[in-house]
Amino acid sequence: MREQVMLDIRHYSKSYGKNNKAVDDISLQVMSGDIYGFIGHNGAGKSTTIRAVVGVLDFSEGEILIDSHSVKDEPIACKQVTAYIPDNPDLYENLTGLQYLNFIADVFGIDTALRKERITEYAALFEITDALGDPIGSYSHGMKQKVAIISALIHKPKLLVLDEPFVGLDPKATFTLKQIMHSMCQEGTAIFFSTHVLDVAEKLCNKIAIIKHGKIIAAGSMEELTQGHSLEETFLEADQ
Amino acid sequence: MKHKSFLLLKVLLLSTGRRNQLKHCADKKKRRRIIGGIVGSVFLYLFLMVYSISVCIGYGYYGLIENAPTMCALIISILSFVLTFLKTNGYLFNFKEYDMLMSLPFRARTIAACKFLYMYLKSLPWYLSISVAMLAGYGFFARPGIAVYLLWLVLSFFLPLIPMLAATFFGFLIAKISAGFRKTNIIQTVLSVAFVLACLSLRFVFEDMLRENKVQQTLQSVSQATDSTARFYPPVGWFTAAVTKLSVPDMLLLAGVSALLFAAVFAIVGSAYRKLNSAIRANAAAKKNRSSTQKQRSAVNAVAFKEFKRFTGSTTYMVNSGIGVILASLFALICCIFGFERIIRLFIHDAPLTVDMLQPAIPFILYFLIGMLATTACSPSLEGKNYWIIQSLPLAKKTVYQGKMLFNLYLTVPFMLFSGICLCVSTKTPLPDTLLYLVLGVVLCAFSTAWGCVCGIRHMRLDWENEVEVIKQGAAVTIYLLPNMLVAMGLTVVSVILGMHMDHKLVAGIFILIAGILALLSYRRVMVLARRSDM
């Protein structure tokens, strides 16, 4: 499969107020088939970057391209091929899980047969089939996270962006999600996700970027970065 | 593929629709609450219809039924403008599912427009209740042809659109200006309140202009009355001409301008939507705040302080719950500067009432404004998803509700005292009477606080999608607000009548006693409800 740049962040900066630069001139590329981990402390600028990538946060400095489309100038083209799973998904609480998934499938124009097949498949994998008829408001955090994950997978995105995806998931669901991420990456999907769980990042990612105080302090392939050490050691060393 | 706007609008309606909630709810208690909400709404619609028909009957008996279409259009326009302005901020900006919607392939314009249409469709039954009732009254007296009924009904759907779009646009401008400041919420509230006050002042300017034109005489003629109103707000004229003269150009004007304005407003709002929402959120992340000195408080005071921060953290909450105290203070201050008699004449016109006769009504006039919306009526519901914090703390519910009530007292009592003193000075009320009126004012604040809390606890709703749902449309607020306003108006009249036959001090004393007992009973009720929820 030919590698293609799916996410291209060029000199992106974001300031909150005049003196608080949350992200400072970061650049990185995520290719199709990459599982790219974005790690850093709380408040390092991970979510600010991710929210700009998925078109939620406005920015004036730098450029972000998804599948060669500019997030600023062609937001719809970018969002059409992207799926985003926030760290704390705010879903419509009074809709049932199924109603919500159907809404997302409608937005992406997935036909009835295909959506039925995918919802059935993923709901079974995440063991949430029986709960899909209940209102989302009655779900636990983990169950909401599962619905958000299924909604992101339902349209087979070219770029999957996840903000702390493993928070709140049970061990089985964490394993399932990792399996799904692997198989998506083999099919050419680019995955860009933030995490604090370094063990998971180490086992899952082929590329890593470490962000500190809004700046990327280390980035590259896992082998280049760790050079035989553990990711935890590499992270702590880079962090000093 | 279905149109994306339709999909989004459908899901917005579905996510807050009572039918959908009822369909998927197994909890009997919750089902009862939803059904109660539906029944309550039906009662309110009926109440509104009865009021609107009464207006029409009044017009009919005085031979002025031809003015009913104008009046209908005016009532709907004013109501839709004010109500939309007060909730634009909560619905259009900074709503909780913003990230989820913006990450989906929707244009920012589509999201903003769908949020507006959602607001329009949710409030449409209120406006249609007025319109249908007034059409029935008009039909009874004027006996128009079938075409008038049809046109009236169809155009009723367009009537609220222009004022709602105007209110949305002003709300957008205020949000845009406020987003540039550190204290976004405070600036937004100040600007919103200033805008509401400016609109209220326009009402008097408008009324004066109509008076200069001797509207009393022109009311005899439909065309002249329509002309005077239409001069200030053309859509009212278009509606009236469309239904009374079956004027196709006017009908097209109303529909066409509404559509054009919709497109224009959302082209502007849409172009700045992401930037504006990002700016509103950026202020919270700007880290420009200083840590204040740590201070130990009692548990009740700590809850009251939490309530204060919740209050100042939301423009919708501040504008809706705080406008009463601001209006009361301004009214009292203006009376102090320009004289009570001069100001009160703007409201009572040539009614045979003297300042002396109105003195006993001072606490009730102020209570009408200050007690309009007690924060305690919505604060239990406003806990929403944060309810677990209160639940998990080693606090008895009694303490929590005492804290909530204390905050409302902190908010209302100083304003009641200030406004009361201003009004008593401007009416030259004797000192002993002044003191009694101030006591009565404070007791009324205590009553509104405790009664609001009873309503708030009894009709607590934590599963809201948007805080506007509990601040403006919640069952607790509705049950508290409407009867309270009507009773305050009634007591204003009763106190004046009693004051004409009894000593003013005695009148105040009687009311202090009654209001005190009611406040005490309400407080006890709060304590009982608190104990029950502890168990």
Q: pLDDT tens digits, residue range B441-496?
A: 999 999 999 999 999 999 888 878 788 888 877 888 888 988 888 899 999 999 99
From A144-153, B32-41, B114-123, B375-384, the region with the lowest mean pLDDT: B32-41
Rg (chain A; Cα; Å): 18
Residue with tokens 């703007």: B346
C-alpha span between A142 and A123 (Å, rounded): 13
As a CATH number, domain A5-81+158-239 is: 3.40.50.300
Could you tell me the pLDDT band of residue B225, with boundaries at 50, 70 and 90?
A: low
Nearest to B16 among A54, A94, A100 (CB): A94
Which pLDDT does position B211 carry in this prediction?
Answer: 54
Which pLDDT does position B218 carry in this prediction?
Answer: 43
C-alpha span between B395 and B301 (Å, rounded): 13
In DSSP terms, A135 is beta-bridged to: A96
Nearest to B21 among A58, A76, A94 (CB): A94
Q: Determine the average pLDDT of the residues in B202-217.
A: 55
In one-letter notation, the amino acid at residue B146 is I
Interface of B with A (CB under 8 A): 1-2, 4, 7-8, 11, 14-17, 20-21, 24-25, 96-100, 102-108, 182, 274-275, 277-279, 281-283, 285-288, 463, 465
The residue ranges of every structural domain in chain A are 5-81+158-239, 91-156
Which of A80, A107, A151, A158 is the best residue to mutate to test the B interface, defined by the most B CB atoms within 10 Å of its own CB?
A107
Nearest CA in chain A to B102: A56
Dihedral pair phi/psi, residue A190, rounded to 5°: -95, 135
Q: Residue B208 pLDDT > 70, yes or no?
A: no
Which pLDDT does position A176 carry in this prediction?
Answer: 93
Q: Residue B276 pLDDT > 70, yes or no?
A: yes
**How far from each other are the two terminal CA atoms of chain B, in whole angstroms?**
52
Q: Residue B91 pLDDT > 50, yes or no?
A: yes
In DSSP terms, A218 is beta-bridged to: A210
Cα atoms found within 13 Å of the Cα of residue B384, Cβ hemisphere only: 14
Q: Residue B1 pLDDT > 60, yes or no?
A: no
Would you call A111 an interface residue with chain B, using a CB distance cutoff of 8 Å?
no
CB contact under 8 Å between B105 and A107, yes or no, is yes
Q: Which two tokens stand for residue B95?
A: 């709503």
Nearest CA in chain B to A104: B104
Computed over every residue of chain A, the mean pLDDT equals 90
Higher pLDDT, B229 or B108: B108
From A220-224, B36-40, B122-126, B233-237, the region with the lowest mean pLDDT: B36-40
**Alpha helices (H) along B359-430:** 362-370, 375-382, 387-392, 397-426
B155 closest CA partner among B242, B218, B79, B223 = B242
C-alpha span between B10 and B504 (Å, rounded): 58
B325 closest CA partner among B399, B420, B235, B209 = B420
B471 closest CA partner among B407, B399, B380, B388 = B380
- Residue B144's Cβ-count burial label (10 Å; 0-12, 13-18, 19+) is middle
Could you tell me the pLDDT band of residue A172, with boundaries at 50, 70 and 90?
A: very high
C-alpha span between B492 and B362 (Å, rounded): 8
C-alpha span between B57 and A168 (Å, rounded): 62
From A74-83, A149-158, B107-116, B309-318, the region with the lowest mean pLDDT: B309-318
Nearest CA in chain B to A85: B100
In one-letter notation, the amino acid at residue B64 is L
Q: How close is the nearest chain A Cα to the Cα of B24, in Å?
A: 6
How far is residue B316 from each of residues B95, B151, B185, B319, B322, measured CA to CA in Å?
12, 36, 9, 5, 10
Which pLDDT does position B222 carry in this prediction?
Answer: 47
C-alpha span between A157 and A179 (Å, rounded): 16
Which pLDDT does position A5 carry in this prediction?
Answer: 92
From A191-205, B192-206, B326-340, the region with the lowest mean pLDDT: B192-206
Tell me A135's DSSP state.
B
B285 closest CA partner among A183, A214, A92 = A214
Asked if residues B239 and B160 have their Cβ atoms less than 8 Å apart, the reply is no
Q: Determine the average pLDDT of the residues in B420-430.
A: 93
Asked if residues B166 and B81 have their Cβ atoms less than 8 Å apart, the reply is yes
Dihedral pair phi/psi, residue A36, rounded to 5°: -105, 115
Could you tell me the pLDDT band of residue B291, with boundaries at 50, 70 and 90?
A: low
Asked if residues B44 and B482 have their Cβ atoms less than 8 Å apart, the reply is yes
C-alpha span between A119 and A122 (Å, rounded): 5
Global ipTM: 0.85
Q: What is the pLDDT of residues A119-157, one digit of tens each?
A: 999 999 999 999 999 989 889 989 999 999 999 999 999
Would you call A55 an interface residue with chain B, using a CB distance cutoff of 8 Å?
yes
The DSSP-derived string for A197-212 is -HHHHHHH-SEEEEEE
C-alpha span between B367 and B155 (Å, rounded): 38
- Within 8 A by CB and 6+ apart from A178, the residues are A200, A203, A204
Would you call A103 an interface residue with chain B, using a CB distance cutoff of 8 Å?
yes
Could you tell me the pLDDT band of residue B320, with boundaries at 50, 70 and 90?
A: confident
C-alpha span between B157 and B151 (Å, rounded): 10
Kindly list the residues from chain B whose CB atom is less than 8 angstroms away from the CB atom of residue A136.
Answer: none
C-alpha span between B385 and B93 (Å, rounded): 20
CB contact under 8 Å between A17 and B4, yes or no, is no
Computed over every residue of chain B, the mean pLDDT equals 86
Q: How close is the nearest chain A Cα to the Cα of B281, in Å?
A: 9
CB contact under 8 Å between B103 and A16, yes or no, is no
CB contact under 8 Å between B4 and A57, yes or no, is no
Residue A219: in which H helix or E strand, if any? strand A215-221
C-alpha span between B355 and B388 (Å, rounded): 52
Q: How close is the nearest chain B Cα to the Cα of A94, in Å?
A: 5
From A81-85, A231-235, B150-154, B178-182, the region with the lowest mean pLDDT: B178-182
Asked if residues B453 and B404 have their Cβ atoms less than 8 Å apart, the reply is yes
Nearest CA in chain B to A53: B103
Which of A91, A94, A158 is the best residue to mutate to test the B interface, defined by the most B CB atoms within 10 Å of its own CB?
A94
Residues in chain B: 535
Residues in chain A: 240
Cα–Cα–Cα angle for A109, A112, A117, rounded to 5 degrees: 110
Asked if residues A208 and A192 have their Cβ atoms less than 8 Å apart, the reply is no
Give me the percent of chain B exceeding a pLDDT of 70: 91
Which pLDDT does position A150 carry in this prediction?
Answer: 95
Higher pLDDT, B280 or B2: B280
C-alpha span between B285 and B195 (Å, rounded): 28
Q: Determine the average pLDDT of the residues in A44-48.
A: 90
Would you call A75 an interface residue with chain B, using a CB distance cutoff of 8 Å?
yes
- Within 8 A by CB and 6+ apart from B356, the residues are B427
Q: Which two tokens stand for residue B389?
A: 């914090």
- Residue B145's Cβ-count burial label (10 Å; 0-12, 13-18, 19+) is exposed
Kindly list the residues from chain B whose CB atom is less than 8 angstroms away from the CB atom of residue A20.
Answer: 285-288
Q: What is the pLDDT of residues B472-484, one digit of tens each?
A: 778 888 889 888 8
